[in-house]
Amino acid sequence: MPSPRIAREYKDQTVFISCTIQKWYYLFDRHNRWEILAKSLEYCQRHKDLKIFAYIFMLNHIHLLAQAPDMSRVLCDFKKYTSRELMKNILLAEPHVAELFPQKNGKFKIWQETNCPIIIESEKFFLQKQQYIHENPVRKQYVENPEYWYWSSANPTQPLKITNGFE
């Protein structure tokens, strides 16, 4: 069973990661929240050597097939930045939604702590996880074909830089 968090030993390894919103609340489908996720990942690509092989942004979670010199740090920074930006967005657009994400210290907790990382050790497993990611909105019956979901590496017009192939 995969560990719930990214271990520091995952340096330079290709990893399948899932990040989920607390209580599986549908959060991303409004108020430009998918753009917040994309902006943060773009920053990590430019400044933290994040390579994204496949991704999907769903309504309440994301999946990444990615690699970085320090994936633990990248994921921590990604979650920290997006939590702050998402909460600003929520407080402006839907303040009542903030009540779903309380924490004892008066702050808010957007993301679940677990990331369910799985190290990708073969090209076959890589392709299996890539297909799983791309088929996600099809399985949910949001679209008929993976390339129709805009926030997916399956879509040729999606905004993120995608690294091809298994490393």
Q: Which pLDDT score is estimated for 9?
A: 62
Separation CA 75–CA 65 (nearest Å): 12
Q: Which pLDDT score is estimated for 76?
A: 93
Q: How far apart are the first and last CA of the chain?
A: 23
Q: Which pLDDT score is estimated for 5?
A: 52
**Tally of CB atoms within 10 A around 15:** 23
Q: Which two tokens stand for residue 129?
A: 């996880």
Determine the residue type at 126.
F
Of 18, 116, 119, 131, nearest to 64 by C-alpha is 18
Q: Which pLDDT score is estimated for 165?
A: 80
In the numeric block, the tokens 């993301």 are attached to 111
Contact between 136 and 143 (Cβ < 8 Å): no
The tens place of each residue's pLDDT in the chain, 167 residues long, gives: 344 555 556 678 999 999 999 999 999 999 999 999 999 999 999 999 999 999 999 999 999 999 999 999 999 999 999 999 999 999 999 999 999 998 778 789 999 998 989 999 999 999 999 999 999 999 999 999 999 999 999 999 999 999 998 76
Q: Which pLDDT score is estimated for 3?
A: 44
Q: Which pLDDT score is estimated for 19?
A: 97
Of 158, 139, 165, nearest to 41 by C-alpha is 158
